[in-house]
Structure 1
Amino acid sequence: MVFFSKLFGSNKENNTKVVEPVEYKGFLIYQDSLAENGQYRIAGKITKEIEGELKEHRFIRSDVVSGKGDADDLMLKKAQMFIDQMGDGIFG
């Protein structure tokens, strides 16, 4: 029964997760750490609208930490540092 629920979708719950962005210097940072072997890998995306087009840079870091909150906090700090260093060049 579980196989069919996964194959065709289950009406019991919607597993779509919503990640709220953090605005930083005109960029939107989406913290989206990945669960991996009981730890969390730092991951997410940075977006910005440039000349009417939404640009996106997605990244997954090699860093892993024990908690999701810690991974999301670290991702935010790394993304902010990346933005400070690269600016709009992130998308180039």
Structure 2
Amino acid sequence: MSFFKKLFGGGSASAEPAGEKTLGEETYKGYLIKAIEMKVGSEYQLAGLIEKGFDGELKTYRYIRADRMSSVDDLVSLALGKGRQIIDEQGDGIFR
């Protein structure tokens, strides 16, 4: 996968990389949104995954934003909110 797809969340058929920690998750409009841990020094960077199954195949979209915070609770809330926003704006188009 290219650098830009990794950076901006290109759709892929792969699941979370081994060792990646899910801090919170929710189901929204048929999608599973996961807030994932991405530590930068002593802070957490906003990052998450959006997953949805299509014809037996699980598609995953990764998003990473510049926002950083010190609280895990804040991270989870913002990452899930950003996932809902992405779904509302782009729907299944995120997996193209």
Range of TM-score over shorter length: 0.7 to 0.9
Aligned partner of 1:74: which letter? L
Tell me if 1:31 matches 2:31. no
For residues 19 and 39 of structure 1, what CA distance do their matches in structure 2 show?
A: 14
For structure 1, which runs of at least 5 residues remain unmatched after alignment? 1-14
Query: CA 1:60–1:37 in structure 2 vs 1: closer, same or farther (change >3 Å)?
Result: same
Cα contact 2:21–2:36 (8 A) shared by 1: no
Larger Rg: 1
Taking structure 1 as the reference length, what is the TM-score of the superposition?
Answer: 0.75
Aligned partner of 1:22: which letter? E
Taking structure 2 as the reference length, what is the TM-score of the superposition?
Answer: 0.72
For structure 2, which runs of at least 5 residues remain unmatched after alignment? 1-18
For residues 90 and 16 of structure 1, what CA distance do their matches in structure 2 show?
A: 21
Aligned partner of 2:88: which letter? D
Which aligned runs of 4 or more in structure 1 are off by greater than 6 angstroms? Answer: none
For residue 21 of structure 1, the aligned residue among 8, 18, 25 is 25
Give the alignment of 1:58-77 within 5 angstroms: 58-77=62-81
For residues 72 and 18 of structure 1, what CA distance do their matches in structure 2 show?
A: 9
Q: What is the aligned partner in structure 2 of residue 41 from structure 1?
A: 45
Instruction: Report 1 or 2 for greater relative contact order, CA contacts < 8 Å, sequence distance ≥ 6.
Output: 2
Cα contact 1:19–1:30 (8 A) shared by 2: yes
Question: Aligned-residue CA RMSD in angstroms?
Answer: 1.8
